[in-house]
Each structure stands twice: as structure tokens, then as C-alpha cells.
Chains A and B, each alone.
Chain A
Amino acid sequence: MADEIKIATRESYGKTITELGREHDDIIVLDADLAEATKTAVFKKEFPERHIDCGIAEANMMGIAAGLATAGMSPFASTFAMFASGRAFEQIRNSIGYPHLNVKICASHAGITVGEDGATHQCNEDIALMRTIPGMLVVNPSDDIEAKAATRALYDYKGPAYMRLGRFAVPVINTNDDYRFELGKGIKLREGKDLTIIATGLEVSQSLIAADILKENGIDAAVINIHTIKPLDKEIVINAAKDTGRIVTVEEHSVIGGLGSAVSDVICENCPVPVHKIGMQDRYGESGPAAALLEKFGLDGKGIAKNILEWM
């Protein structure tokens, strides 16, 4: 994997929303002074008249997006995950979610891999916040290919949706010819009989590394990619629990309210088996290079493998 191509999912989003802009003139992209960082600057350059920079005012941006959607436009609002899901939570809930408006919130710089900016900007709570909103779709792509496919799928989907994007360049893993993205459908990447690792976002590629290490230690781990956290693919989760009897969830997010919680809900209700949640353990991140932070918090392939070996 060392020589693999790495691309940040925010880059994939910026490119694809620009392509979509050429195909659909109802797309409006909104930013809050972060177009360079969210990568929508690509769209802004090509379609300045369809890009709205709201300035540093995320709450207002969500309301403007809602108003545009009432009139049949397809707004994509972008900022950092912290300011979208945190600062503007109530605007998203009441002005977008409650009226079920067709607004796409595409939030970059999620999780600890924001890196050096530190805890104030490292949002480990966005999945939890967004999945509590009734009718909100929550998507967290694992790589460039998936982020591109997800952006297209989100345009076709009519309703409120949140997509989590990263700043950190991550390995491109979905290179197989039969790769197919479908909202709400998990993807089994690797078969295994001893346990199933269910991962999301950049932790999918890290979990594949972890599975290799586990293999060397005599443990045969299946790996599932959950790109759509809500609605969750219950069938793939239940089957994994039945097939392997043990589940490990991995996310670059708090273990409270995220993928681990969503998977646990399904497993508790349908076929209780042990679930071990790997993620941020109810704590803030800190400054440092993204890769070093993943290592420090045990969210890189080696850390995940070590954690699982200790648990088993």
C-alpha cells in the first residue's frame, strides 16, 4: 500500500461538484469563507455566478440554502464539519431537516486528521449530531472514488443530506472494476470468519491494513465499508454478526453516537453479539501531523490491529 495514490476526499468533492455544475444549472454552491479549503473554489472559478460566499456566517448560510431549496434550486453548502454540524446544528435541524428541504451539506475537515489546527477544529461529533435529525442522510466516503460517486448520488437524491469529507490525503482503495456506489448499501471488502471489522471513511483503508496484520497473527477478519451511516445497511451488519459472531467498529469520530453506536443499535435489536468500538474515546483531539495523530489515538492500521488483538 506504500506506493498507493492518496487523495483527500475534499478534493474529490470539489472536482465532482464542478463537473455536476456543468451538467445541472440548478446547482448552487455556498461557502462561508472557506472555498479554498473545502475545494469548492474549483466550482467558484468556473461558475462564479452560481457560487455564494456567505462570509463567516454558517448559520445564515444554512438558512440561505434552505430558502434556495424551497424554490427548487439544488444547494450544496460547504464549510468545516465543526461549523456545519456544530455551529449550525439548530439551523440544519429546523430550517433544513424539519421541512425536509433538498440541501446537501458537504463538510470537510472532519475528525482528528485536520491535524495541526487542533481540537477546536477537529470535529469528532458530526456523525452523531447529524444522524439524530429525522430524515437526514449521513454519508462518509472512504476514498476519492467513493467521494466522487457519493457526490453524484447526492445530487440525484432529493432531500437533506450530510456528507463528511476529509482534509488528509487517503489511499485510493475502491479501484476494482465492479465497484458500485449505492446510497444506504454497505460494501464487503474482505471475507473473514473470526470477526468483522465495520469501518467508515478513512478508517476503511486503515482497517484493511489492520486485517492484514491480524492475518499474520492467525486471525481471519472480514472488512465492511459503511459509507452511508444513515440509513444504515442493517442487512449487511446483521449478516456479519451472524457469520462471524464478533464485530469491531472503527471510525475517526467519537465512539459516542457515531458508526459504533449505529451498528450497536442494530446488533442489540437483532442478533446480540459482542461489539467493540474503536474511535475517539470521549476526548478531544490535539495538534499534530494527521498521520501522527492517527497513530497516537490508535486509529492507524497498526493501532487498530493491536487494539483488536488485546480485545480478543
Chain B
Amino acid sequence: MTTKELQKIANEVRKDILTETHAAKSGHPGGSLSAAEIFTYLYFEEMNIDPANPEDPDRDRFVLSKGHTAPGLYGVLAEKGYFPKEALVTLRHIGSFLQGHPAMQDTPGVDMSSGSLGQGLSAACGMAMAAIFQNRSYRTYCLLGDGEIQEGQVWEAAMFAGARKLDNLVAIVDNNDLQIDGRIGDVCSPYPIAAKFDAFGFYTIEVKDGNDFDQLRSAFEEARKLKGKPTAIICKTVKGKGVSFMEDQAGWHGKAPNDEQYAQAMAELERAVD
């Protein structure tokens, strides 16, 4: 897929995120928007998946460890055809198959339930181990938040992945630099992130602009070639990316746009396509 085509899909995913959270009157747009390119690249370029066969045992796996950014995952799953886009407005509503945080029992295409921070990389390690036991060639991708990596379990899992040399596992860190209480460096700094993963036995790739498809492409293509160790791709991104008043604002971590803000944001994204 061309960069231009990917950008168009990412823009649709952004609109989906706003439509979902606006309809839900709650949810997490900031960290969903920062990862819109990552979601899009994974589902439209990187992963071996088929929306018509979401249970294929040979499919690549994705674990959204930063589960609160479910609006971004649901958006890309809908764009890919796992379920109709019309369903997105039911996010967080009573009886919806789109729960506030990803639920694998409810939503086609969701490979692992998540939402309680710090747990996803462990499950991803289990999936990567299963590929080895079953002699399957699928790869497992896990998206973590940069605030999330303050959780100790992430490093238990990183130590395990490094010790077991799980080269079928890719951890991606959405480094938008913000968490609820402020800058991650001010709250309780997890920096330097790449050096930590390196020390735990990972190859590390730093992406200067994780909202740029060309840079993501080069990082993921490089990761495919790396053997003998798991890979961590640390993507510098902008929280709230694509919506002027949400960009780099911690306040938009877990707040939905009101009607007026939604209209303005959608207008901005409409203009962004060409």
C-alpha cells in the first residue's frame, strides 16, 4: 500500500476514534489518536491477517496492552472489515460488543482482552511461545503505552522475552510523553526507554516520528530481519495527533469531545485528507 493510501486510512481511523468517543460521551481519544498510524500500519501493511477468518491459528497476533485506546483498535478493525463501521457508535453502550476496554470474547478480531495496564506483554509472550510449541510462523505484536511501562509486570515480561530470545515478538511503545497526571518524565520517568529494553535483551529501534508511515515502514521492515532476540520499536508520537486542540494535551487522555468539539475535530480531519 502507498503511503498516501495508508494516510487516508489513518485519517478515517482518527474520525472513527472521535465518532466513537463522542457517541460514548467517554473514552480515551488522546492515546488512540497518537497510535492511529501504528494501528493502521499493523493492520493494513504489517500483519498477516484476514478479517474473514479471525480465528485462523496461523494469523499474526496483536495485543493492545494499552487497552484504554480501544477506540483506535475498534476503528482500524472496522476499517479492515471485521465488523460494520456503523457499530462504532455503540462503543461503551449497554449491550454493545464494543466494550470500554478490549474484550476478546465480545469483539471479532480482538486477540486478547486487556485494559488493566501492564498485562499485555505477558500474554503476548505466551502467544509467541505457543507459536514455537506449535511450529507456526506467526508473529506477535504488542502495543504498550509509555506511561504503562511504569508497571513492573511489563519488565517481568520483557525479562522473559529477552531470556527466551523470542524473535517472533515485537513490542511497540507509543511514546506520546503524556500520562494522566502529566509528562511521563515528571510523574515517574521511564526514560531512557530504548536503553531499558536493550538491557532486557531486546533489539531496539527508535522511530523519531511514529506518526510518519515511511519511518514506521522502515522500522517494521528492519524488525522482520532481526533474529535471535525480540524487538522493541519505540515510537515518538504526539498525543491527540491530528486534532489541533487535542495535540500534546494530557487533559485529552480520557475525555470525550462535546458536540461542538466533535464538529470542529471532524472538520479538521476532513480537510486533512488531500
Contacts and interface: CB of A to CB of B under 8 A. Distances in A.
Interface of A: 28, 50, 52, 54-55, 57, 59-73, 75, 90-91, 94-95, 98-100
Given A64-B129, A99-B104, A70 B123 contact: yes
Interface stretch (B77-85, B152-160, B172-180, B237-245): B152-160
B96 interface: no
Interface string B129-145: 11101100000000000
Given A55-B159, A64-B160, A72 B57 contact: yes
B157 A99 contact: no
Interface stretch (B26-34, B112-120, B191-199): B112-120
A52 B113 contact: no
A71 B131 contact: yes
A55 B160 contact: yes
B127 A60 contact: no
Contacts of B116: 90, 94-95
Nearest to B158: A60
A94 B119 contact: yes
A90 B116 CA distance: 9
14 contacts: A50-B133, A55-B156, A60-B156, A60-B157, A63-B122, A67-B122, A67-B126, A67-B130, A68-B130, A70-B112, A95-B122, A98-B105, A99-B105, A100-B105
A64 B123 contact: yes
Nearest to B122: A63
B122 A98 contact: no
A73 B130 contact: yes
A63 B123 contact: yes
A170 to B, nearest CB: 33
Nearest to B99: A98
A213 B116 CA distance: 51
Interface in B146-164: 152-153, 156-157, 159-160, 163
Main secondary structure of the interface of B (DSSP, over half): helix
The 8 A-B residue pairs with the shortest CB-CB distance, nearest first, are: A67-B126, A63-B122, A71-B130, A60-B156, A67-B123, A57-B156, A64-B126, A99-B113
Contacts of B131: 71
B127 A63 contact: no
Given A59-B156, A64-B160, A94 B113 contact: yes
Given A28-B129, A63-B123, A66-B126, 5 more contacts: A63-B122, A63-B126, A71-B134, A75-B126, A94-B115
Contact of A60 (B105, B111, B113, B122): B122
Interface of B: 57, 61, 63, 103-105, 111-116, 118-131, 133-134, 152-153, 156-157, 159-160, 163
A65 B126 CA distance: 6
Nearest to A50: B133
Main secondary structure of the interface of A (DSSP, over half): helix
Contacts of B104: 70, 99
A304 B273 CA distance: 77
Contacts of B121: 63
Contact of A99 (B112, B122, B126, B134): B112
A64 B122 contact: yes
Nearest to B142: A67
Contacts of B122: 59-64, 66-67, 91, 95
A42 B221 CA distance: 43
A44 to B, nearest CB: 15
Contacts of B118: 59
Nearest to B111: A70
B125 A60 contact: yes
Nearest to B106: A99
A63 B125 contact: yes
B155 to A, nearest CB: 9
Nearest to B116: A94
Given A68-B126, A71-B127, A73-B133, A57 B119 contact: no
Contact of B157 (A52, A63, A72): A63
Given A91-B119, A91-B122, A71 B160 contact: no
Contacts of B128: 67
Given A60-B160, A99-B103, A99-B104, A66 B112 contact: yes
Contacts of B114: 95
Contacts of B153: 57, 59-60, 63, 91
A95 B65 CA distance: 11
Contact of B125 (A67, A72, A98): A67
A68 B103 CA distance: 17
Contacts of A50: 133
B123 A95 contact: yes
Contact of A70 (B103, B127, B157, B163): B127
Contact of A98 (B57, B103, B127, B133): B103
A152 to B, nearest CB: 22
A64 B153 CA distance: 11
**From B114, B115, B126, B131, residue with most partner A Cβ within 10 Å:** B126
Contact of B129 (A62, A67, A90, A95): A67
A66 B63 CA distance: 12
B56 to A, nearest CB: 11
Contacts of A99: 103-105, 112-113
**From A28, A60, A61, A94, residue with most partner B Cβ within 10 Å:** A60
B129 A52 contact: yes
Nearest to B134: A71
